């Protein structure tokens, strides 16, 4: 008799445990999947300077808003539940109000957990995001004008954004000054995007993983390898064999004589930030 | 409690309105006062406290951090900077002394809404509802910690209504009101004391911190109890009262030792016989029942 009631209470106990574990487990699964979705940063949301990589950031940021408070320009906001990024985490939108790149980086100092990495002490080394000239069809400089605003406002002028000169094929007698972003120096502050004079900015700042391409691990740039080695890696250096179309021949220096313009000679100048197959 | 009598009517008669609401008023003053301190900055430009309940810096010197969110952060594999760790240690130290769930009743802003739901429930005579184990909160607590470790993300903070409400009031609420409203309606219509008493993993975490807390409520004058049941009716965790109030015969001391007592002091207010009072943990002798026995019982008006 006692054994049966013991069995029954044990049975009840296991049932209760199973019930709770299943219910909470289901809820946890849903929450976990939701969290995975929220881990992708939307393209317009830029993290403050020194922010860890997004996956690490979401484990390190405790959503206290200290960075928001210590930003002297009030550019930072904490994400609300309806926003597309992890609730309560700080971000700014460059087109609305860009980072002023304070030299003492108060937002990083304010962070109690190191979600904004305290090792960042030089704001010029910040990598909040990466600017990319995404629309060459509307960029005024690409249309042959001298807007230059993104270049002028860049806090790292002539390093993060340069104006690369190229021939204006349309007018045949002008030079185009193409704003070109260099990821090595771009901090992602967003000043260029903010100041772009167009209705919708042609140059935009994106989280780095969206804006930056990557060469294959195995890929080597021949000219760099040559420089490193101090000499050609292929010895003896093979003389280039030209397979010219019929009726073409090389005169002195680079250039072909003939009727048509061969495609190899008309390489369009493409901003360096756009190299690779994706923005 | 007879059916046609209001809860706490006896206390009102014997102690007056103020006497019967003393701890409640103090508690609301504490909850609203803390909120006001946080709001002085954004509303009046007076930055006594920066941050929110997850982490705050008072007068640019005193760090206070929520150990629960920090534990989740640790479980994701991140080691925080020193200030957050100091802040969490201070908060743990505080609640080890005053009782972990004092956080719920004296600090948490959501508690005011769930209290309102409980009060409306009593006023409107809403009875019954979904019943499930009060231990569900510990399952939820375990789940949130496990999720943090498994995903590397502080997942719970995406949904945590407590943090969301406090952060929302200070930094902008957005749609957070809908989650807060959901909790309120859940408590009002679905389950009595559903959120704070059954589900909230924040409260569950703090209850564990306060497991051996110094400050407790004690039924020091339990011999005077007239079985009106008013304390059971107002208590958000009524299961904690019975051993202390009715345990004399079994040799159980008058101290409410359960870590889920929120130290809200509502039982002290609502008792016309002044049975309850705040006491220290070490004052738990089963035989204490003399009227002058409550020397350390702050709530007694003798």
CATH number at residue B252: 3.30.70
**Do B173 and B84 sit in the same domain of this protein?**
yes
Mutate to test the interface with B, among A54, A64, A66 (most CBs of B within 10 A): A64
Is the pLDDT at A27 greater than 90? The verdict is no
> Who's near A73: CB < 8 A, 6+ residues apart?
A97, A99, A100
* Whether A113 and B133 lie within 8 Å, measured CB to CB: no
* Whether B69 and A63 lie within 8 Å, measured CB to CB: yes
Please, which pLDDT band fits residue A230 given cuts at 50, 70 and 90?
confident
Q: Which of residues 92-151 of A touch B (CB under 8 A)?
A: 110-115, 118
Reading the block at residue B145, the tokens are 């910690």
Could you tell me where the beta strands, DSSP code E, fall in B206-254? 215-218
A39: number of Cβ within 10 Å: 15
Is the pLDDT at B138 greater than 50? The verdict is yes
8 A C-beta contact, residue A115 and residue A57: yes
List the single residue in B81, B147, B171 with the smallest CB-CB distance to A78. Answer: B171
**Do B119 and B168 sit in the same domain of this protein?**
yes
A112 vs B contacts (CB less than 8 Å): 55, 57, 63, 65, 80-81, 83-84, 87
CA distance B196 to chain A (A): 17
A4 CB burial (10 A radius; 0-12, 13-18, 19+): exposed
A103 CB burial (10 A radius; 0-12, 13-18, 19+): exposed
List the single residue in B54, B78, B150 with the smallest CB-CB distance to A63. Answer: B54
Q: How many angstroms separate the most distant Cα atoms in chain B?
A: 58
**Do B87 and B183 sit in the same domain of this protein?**
yes
Q: Is residue B143 part of a domain?
A: no
Is the pLDDT at A205 greater than 90? The verdict is yes
CA distance A33 to chain B (A): 9
Q: Between residues A251 and B99, which one has the greater pLDDT?
A: B99
CA angle (B276, B121, B114) in 5-degree steps = 70
Is the pLDDT at A76 greater than 90? The verdict is yes
List the single residue in A20, A35, A64 with the smallest CB-CB distance to B158. Answer: A35
**Do B172 and B264 sit in the same domain of this protein?**
no
CA dihedral (A16, A17, A18, A21) in degrees, to 10, reads 120
Reading the block at residue B143, the tokens are 């789940």
A34 vs B: CB within 8 A:
yes
Q: Is residue B46 part of a domain?
A: no
Mutate to test the interface with A, among B43, B55, B70, B181 (most CBs of A within 10 A): B55
Is the pLDDT at B263 greater than 90? The verdict is yes
Integer angstrom CA distances of residue A182 from A123, A262, B257: 17, 30, 65
**Do B252 and B268 sit in the same domain of this protein?**
yes
**Do B179 and B204 sit in the same domain of this protein?**
yes
B78 vs A contacts (CB less than 8 Å): 56, 59-60, 113-115
Integer angstrom CA distances of residue B207 from B254, B258, B263: 20, 9, 11
Q: Between residues B13 and B65, which one has the greater pLDDT?
A: B65
Domain that holds residue B235: 217-280
Per-residue confidence (pLDDT) for residue A10, from 0 to 100: 87
Radius of gyration, alpha carbons of chain B: 20
Per-residue confidence (pLDDT) for residue B254, from 0 to 100: 87
pLDDT one-digit tens code per residue, B116-135? 999 999 889 888 788 888 88
Per-residue confidence (pLDDT) for residue B300, from 0 to 100: 47
Q: Between residues A106 and A7, which one has the greater pLDDT?
A: A106
The pTM of the full predicted model, rounded to 2 decimals, is 0.82
d(CA B302, CA B291): 8
Q: How many whole angstroms from its chain centre is CA B285?
A: 25
Is the pLDDT at B285 greater than 60? The verdict is yes
d(CA A218, CA B274): 81
Q: Is residue B129 part of a domain?
A: no
A153 vs B: CB within 8 A:
no
Per-residue confidence (pLDDT) for residue A2, from 0 to 100: 55
Establish, for the pair of chains A and B, how many residue pairs have beta carbons separated by less than 8 Å: 157
List the single residue in B69, B158, B171 with the smallest CB-CB distance to A38. Answer: B158
**Do B169 and B265 sit in the same domain of this protein?**
no
- Locus of tokens 């100048």: A269
Output the 3-class SS for B147-187: HHHHHCCCHHHHCCHHHHHHHHHHHCCCCHHHHHHHHHHHH
- Among A88-102, A232-246, B163-177, where is mean pLDDT lowest? A232-246
**Do B108 and B256 sit in the same domain of this protein?**
no
Q: Is residue B41 part of a domain?
A: no
d(CA B114, CA B265): 16
Q: Which residues pair with A46 in a beta bridge?
A: A92
Please, which pLDDT band fits residue A271 given cuts at 50, 70 and 90?
low
Please, which pLDDT band fits residue A256 given cuts at 50, 70 and 90?
low
pLDDT one-digit tens code per residue, B1-58? 444 468 878 888 888 889 889 999 999 999 999 999 999 989 998 899 999 999 999 9
Q: Is residue B254 part of a domain?
A: yes
d(CA B147, CA B100): 23
**Do B252 and B165 sit in the same domain of this protein?**
no
Is the pLDDT at A266 greater than 70? The verdict is no
Tell me which of B186, B209, B232 is where a domain ends.
B209
CA distance B136 to chain A (A): 7
Give, as one character, the DSSP assignment of residue B301: -
Please, which pLDDT band fits residue B76 given cuts at 50, 70 and 90?
very high
CA dihedral (A41, A45, A48, A51) in degrees, to 10, reads 10
8 A C-beta contact, residue B78 and residue B133: no
8 A C-beta contact, residue B143 and residue A24: yes
**Do B177 and B251 sit in the same domain of this protein?**
no
pLDDT one-digit tens code per residue, A45-74? 999 999 999 889 999 999 999 999 999 999
B67-75 vs B136-151: helix crossing angle, rounded to 10: 40
B80 vs A contacts (CB less than 8 Å): 60, 62, 112-114
CA distance A119 to chain B (A): 11
> Who's near B257: CB < 8 A, 6+ residues apart?
B216, B243, B244, B281, B284
Integer angstrom CA distances of residue A204 from A39, A75, A120, A272: 21, 17, 24, 15
Please, which pLDDT band fits residue B292 given cuts at 50, 70 and 90?
very low
Reading the block at residue A48, the tokens are 């403050």
B81 vs A contacts (CB less than 8 Å): 111-114, 118
Output the DSSP codes for A60-127: H-----HHHHH-TT---EEPPTTSSS-TT-EEEETTTS-----TT-HHHHH-SSSSB-TT---GGG--
Phi, psi (degrees; rounded to nearest 5) at A92: -140, 160
Integer angstrom CA distances of residue B41 from A79, B31, B56, B57, B164: 20, 17, 12, 12, 19
* Whether A78 and B172 lie within 8 Å, measured CB to CB: yes
**Do B75 and B187 sit in the same domain of this protein?**
yes
Reading the block at residue A97, the tokens are 């109000």
* Whether B66 and A59 lie within 8 Å, measured CB to CB: no
8 A C-beta contact, residue A255 and residue A265: yes
Q: Is residue B185 part of a domain?
A: yes
Mutate to test the interface with A, among B143, B146, B148, B198 (most CBs of A within 10 A): B143
Listed residue (A149, A148, A111, A108) closest to A125, CA to CA: A108
Per-residue confidence (pLDDT) for residue A206, from 0 to 100: 94
pLDDT one-digit tens code per residue, A156-165? 999 999 999 9
Q: Is residue B116 part of a domain?
A: yes
Please, which pLDDT band fits residue A269 given cuts at 50, 70 and 90?
low
Please, which pLDDT band fits residue A255 given cuts at 50, 70 and 90?
low
Mean pLDDT of B62-71: 94
Q: Which residue of A has its CA nearest to B134?
A: A20
Phi, psi (degrees; rounded to nearest 5) at A190: 90, 5
pLDDT one-digit tens code per residue, B197-241? 999 999 999 999 988 889 999 988 888 888 888 899 899 999 999
Q: Is residue B292 part of a domain?
A: no
Question: Could you give the number of structural domains in chain B?
Answer: 2
Tell me which of B209, B227, B251 is where a domain ends.
B209
Mutate to test the interface with A, among B75, B76, B157 (most CBs of A within 10 A): B157
d(CA B76, CA A52): 13
Q: Determine the 3-state secondary structure of A5 from DSSP.
A: helix
Per-residue confidence (pLDDT) for residue A73, from 0 to 100: 94
Per-residue confidence (pLDDT) for residue B2, from 0 to 100: 43
Reported ipTM: 0.85
**Do B234 and B101 sit in the same domain of this protein?**
no
Per-residue confidence (pLDDT) for residue A272, from 0 to 100: 53
A68 vs B contacts (CB less than 8 Å): 171
Reading the block at residue A258, the tokens are 């003939």
Listed residue (A267, A253, A254, A255) closest to A166, CA to CA: A267
Average pLDDT in chain A? 85
A88 vs B: CB within 8 A:
yes
Is the pLDDT at A257 greater than 60? The verdict is no
């Amino acid at each position: 008799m006692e054994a049966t009631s013991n069995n029954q209470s044990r049975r009840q106990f296991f049932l209760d445990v199973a019930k709770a574990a299943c219910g909470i487990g289901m809820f946890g699964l849903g929450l976990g999947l939701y969290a995975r979705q929220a881990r992708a940063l939307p393209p317009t949301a830029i993290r403050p300077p020194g922010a860890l990589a997004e996956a690490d950031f979401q484990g390190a940021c405790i959503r206290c808003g200290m960075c928001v408070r210590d930003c002297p320009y009030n550019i930072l906001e904490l994400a609300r539940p309806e926003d597309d990024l992890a609730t309560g985490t700080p971000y700014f939108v460059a087109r609305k109000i860009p980072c002023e790149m304070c030299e003492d980086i108060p937002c990083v100092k304010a962070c109690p957990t190191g979600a904004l990495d305290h090792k960042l002490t030089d704001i010029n080394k910040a990598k909040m995001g990466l600017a990319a000239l995404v629309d060459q069809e509307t960029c005024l400089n690409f249309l042959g004008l001298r807007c230059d605003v993104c270049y002028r406002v860049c806090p790292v002028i002539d390093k993060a954004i340069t104006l690369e000169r190229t021939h204006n094929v349309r007018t045949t007698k002008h030079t185009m000054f193409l704003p070109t972003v260099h990821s090595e120096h771009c901090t992602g502050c967003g000043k260029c995007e903010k100041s772009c004079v167009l209705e919708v900015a042609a140059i935009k700042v994106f989280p780095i993983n969206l804006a930056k391409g990557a060469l294959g691990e195995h890929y080597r740039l021949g000219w760099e390898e040559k420089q490193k080695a101090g000499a050609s890696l292929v010895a003896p250096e093979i003389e280039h064999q030209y397979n010219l179309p019929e009726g073409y021949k090389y005169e002195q220096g680079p250039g072909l004589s003939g009727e048509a313009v061969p495609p190899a000679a008309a390489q369009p100048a493409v901003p360096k930030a756009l190299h690779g197959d994706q923005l | 409690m007879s059916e046609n009598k209001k809860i706490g009517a006896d206390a009102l008669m014997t102690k007056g309105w103020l006497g019967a609401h003393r701890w409640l008023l103090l508690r609301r003053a504490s909850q609203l006062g803390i909120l006001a301190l946080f709001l002085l900055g954004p509303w009046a430009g007076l930055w006594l406290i920066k941050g929110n309940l997850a982490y705050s810096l008072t007068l640019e010197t005193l760090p206070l951090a929520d150990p629960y969110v920090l534990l989740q952060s640790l479980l994701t594999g991140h080691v925080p900077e020193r200030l957050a760790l100091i802040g969490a240690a201070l908060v743990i130290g505080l609640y080890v002394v005053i009782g972990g769930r004092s956080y719920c009743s004296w600090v948490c802003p959501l508690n005011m809404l769930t209290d309102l739901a409980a009060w409306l429930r009593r006023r409107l005579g809403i009875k019954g509802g979904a019943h499930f184990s009060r231990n569900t909160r510990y399952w939820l607590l375990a789940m949130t910690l496990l999720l943090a470790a498994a995903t590397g993300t502080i997942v719970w903070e995406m949904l945590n209504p407590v943090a969301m409400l406090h952060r929302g009031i200070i930094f902008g609420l957005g749609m957070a009101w809908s989650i807060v409203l959901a909790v309120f309606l859940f408590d009002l219509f679905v389950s009595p004391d559903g959120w704070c008493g059954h589900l909230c993993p924040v409260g569950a975490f703090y209850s564990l911190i306060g497991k051996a807390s110094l400050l407790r409520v004690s039924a020091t004058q339990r011999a005077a109890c007239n079985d009106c049941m008013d304390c059971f009716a107002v208590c958000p965790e009524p299961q904690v009262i019975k051993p202390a109030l009715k345990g004399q015969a079994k040799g159980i001391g008058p101290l409410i030792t359960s870590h889920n007592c929120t130290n809200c002091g509502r039982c002290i207010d609502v008792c016309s016989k002044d049975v309850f009072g705040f006491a220290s943990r070490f004052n738990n002798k089963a035989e204490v029942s003399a009227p002058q026995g409550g020397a350390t019982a702050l709530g007694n008006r003798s």
